[in-house]
Amino acid sequence: MRLHQFFMFLLLGFIFNYAFADETQLRKMIQAHFPGSEIESLRKTPYMSLYEVVIGGEIIYTDEKAEYFFVGHIVDTKTRVSLTSERMQELRDARRIAMDTLPLELGIKAVKGNGKRTLVVYSDPHCPYCKKLEAELAKVNDITIYTLLYPILKNSMQTATAIWCSADRLKAWDDFMLRGIAPTGKDCETPLNTLLQSGQKNKVNGTPTLIFADGSVVSGMIPAEEIEKRLNDAGKK
């Protein structure tokens, strides 16, 4: 009996090591097609012998030899639900950016009420959804907001520079985002390149991107009610 168990243990170990070696080799083959990009995760799916690859925040599928790539949605024909969309939501919900890794000292700081709750926002002055977000944030109280200027759109660098170089950065930001008043700040030394590098390091691919105290991340504009819920949830963790 013991001999049988021993051989079973050896067989399981062989199967595990073989599967691990196959995945390692597959990762190398996929990486060859995406030089300079990080493969964030790789796992075998329960359907069609496909492997799920997360790269650049997006999901693609491939076969066991990386001979073909499939980009699109896998839909369960019984439920009519996109399994790809469900998985993307799982990845978004699991994403975390530690607050202490962010350059908060370079943010435009706004304290409202007791300021006990904290929110960090990567924001572009010419992003229309960022302006909508600012209107929603105006409804939220008892919060400290750090706005990290993230000028990735056309002509945004010039506007972001004028805002940073204003005598009162917070007023200049609010005036531009909420009231459409152009900033009048002159050229000066700015940390904008540092902020861009920070965003790239944290895989911030669009604006606005919100980061809550528990490290949870939301990409895109959300209403004040959702912001309130997430702020409260983050404070409980």
The answer on 194 and 120 residing in a single domain is yes
Instruction: Kindly state whether residue 10 falls inside one of the protein's structural domains.
Output: no
Strand partners, 59: 54
* Contact predicate 60/33, CB 8 Å: no
Query: Within a domain: residue 47?
Result: yes
pLDDT tens digits for range 21-37:
478 889 889 999 888 88
For range 204-214, the mean pLDDT: 93
- Domain finish residue from 61, 94, 127: 94
Residues 187 and 145 in one domain: yes
Residues 6+ apart with CB under 8 A from 144: 109, 110, 111, 112, 115, 116, 117, 118, 119
- pLDDT at position 237 is 62
Q: Which two tokens stand for residue 214?
A: 């528990």
- Same domain for 151 and 209? yes
pLDDT for 18 beyond 90: no
- For residue 176, the one-letter residue type is F
Task: Label residue 6 by pLDDT band (50, 70, 90).
Answer: very low
Q: Which of 47, 227, 27 is nearest to 143 (CA)?
A: 227
Say which CATH number the domain at 37 has.
3.10.450
Alpha carbon distance 42, 62 (integer Å): 10
For residue range 138-176, what is the model confidence (pLDDT) as tens digits?
999 999 999 999 999 998 999 999 999 999 999 999 999
Q: What is the pLDDT of residue 23?
A: 83
- The pLDDT of residue 186 is above 80: yes
The answer as to whether 26 is a domain residue is: yes
Asked whether residue 135 falls in the same domain as residue 30, the answer is: no
Same domain (yes/no): 117, 89:
no
**Which domain does 68 fall in, by range?**
17-94
Mean pLDDT of the chain: 88
Query: To 10 degrees, the CA torsion angle through 234, 55, 21, 70?
Result: 120
Where does a domain end: 94, 122, 141?
Answer: 94
pLDDT of 48 reads: 85
What was the pLDDT predicted at 40? 85
12-16, 147-151, 183-187, 214-218: least confident range: 12-16
pLDDT cut 90: percent of the chain above it:
60
Please indicate, yes or no, whether residues 86 and 122 belong to a single structural domain of this protein.
Answer: no
Whether residue 147 is found in the same domain as residue 221: yes
Distant-in-sequence, close-in-space partners of 182: CB < 8 Å, separation ≥ 6? 159, 162, 176
pLDDT in tens, 213-226: 999 999 899 999 99
**Amino acid identity for residue 151 in this structure:** P
Question: pLDDT tens for residues 79-131?
Answer: 999 998 888 878 877 788 999 999 999 999 999 999 999 999 999 999 999 99
Structural domain count of the chain:
2
At 192, phi and psi to the nearest 5? -60, -40
Query: pLDDT value at position 168?
Result: 96
CATH of the domain at 217: 3.40.30.10
Kindly report, residue by residue over 28-61, the tens digit of the pLDDT. 899 998 888 888 889 899 888 899 998 877 889 9
